[in-house]
Structure 1
């Protein structure tokens, strides 16, 4: 395997689906090697032998349920920082499943089409910078003036709309206020540092959003920035995901990686809005 080549593991009980997705990746994303597993046993064998840049899985496997699969990968096999996404053809109801959200980086509805699937996978692999950003309103939380200035310059460069909060308490006030005005929510995504000054840490803020405000992973996606050293603190990613984060990006933040991860989560938010609009329309017509 060449130095630039990245490995992707596809897990799906359908051989046809594996063949289609593997072909899409190989034809559209450079320097990627694809391994395929039709069940959990094959996947675990490959994960013990190889290091992957991305893992994708379907929700239905013949020998294990999705919850156990993800927990085994993250905890028993200690694959903590590798992005893991679920690919599903079941559009309605996918975002209501919260059983494994703390260990999964994203979901993709295959009905959105092959090109969007390629773009979604490519954004995790970061083989090239995103062509265009997905619009959305961001709530950005960072207490370091230097870091905040650099990140805000990147956000403005890519035309993201954002509001900057200097601590978790201020961010929580903005979110709480957003629900007092005709039950509206002006924020599509939260970008926050995990280590914040004040009474609340980034993890405290995330837990309050998930459990106090009741905002789910797709309703308000959360991207965490961290300078933690995973070599000295290998359980760090698991704690962050367990608090309710969708994804993690390490500092210093690379521009292309930041835009790719923001696009991922804003796409997740857009899928959520599309589903709810369709559901509301069905209720009105019914």
Structure 2
């Protein structure tokens, strides 16, 4: 036993443990908060999909390095500066947005998470759902065409910039007025964020899906197109038939009923009740663990 202890002492004496002071601890905390906020931000943008693609390319290059694929490595080394510029160009809208949002972040609330009480988290309220359903079916009765894009996790800023800023609380009367024939805002799409109409007359990408019916016009193809490049929910009111359609994940559901539309919107609402008192949650977890140990 003494021999083992002496051997351990001999080896441990050669290990130099780094000294840690209060500045190092603060530095680690700041880096942790920055990395966490960056990952939360990138999760809700199109950059998340692009980042996954870059990770796949990085894994391919790692395999090339391990197996000594010198030709591939030489090509990458020569194109490295061009690739860096390409990444900056690709991520330009997202990088600009994160710089704009730096002043809006509540950093202290992220570091000190001891808020109290419970809150209901939802993308939009039940009142907004009622107003949307009413407006869509009122427009359908008089065959007023409409295209309403409901933003989800992926932000739609690049499409919002193509339209005219509205920034108004959503109501059925406002939607009907926007899509009324011969009005300045009726052509194009309305983009919703939360309970507000952010912009109108927005241009959307058209779908190239050959399986869509040839009877469908530009409005339906635009609704499917935006659902192919984002996680948005798009409501289309047909100008020819007055029928309501919903586009999600590149698929079009036609002739939906009022009950079905409400069901889709409630799912998109993503209502959850969150307990903000994290200190109380920690104490509850500790008391449960103590109860288990007592048993």
Structures share fold, TM-score greater than 0.5: no
Which has a greater percent of helix?
A: 2
- Structure of higher CA gyration radius: 2
TM-score by length of 2: 0.24
Instruction: Output the TM-score relative to the length of structure 1.
Output: 0.25
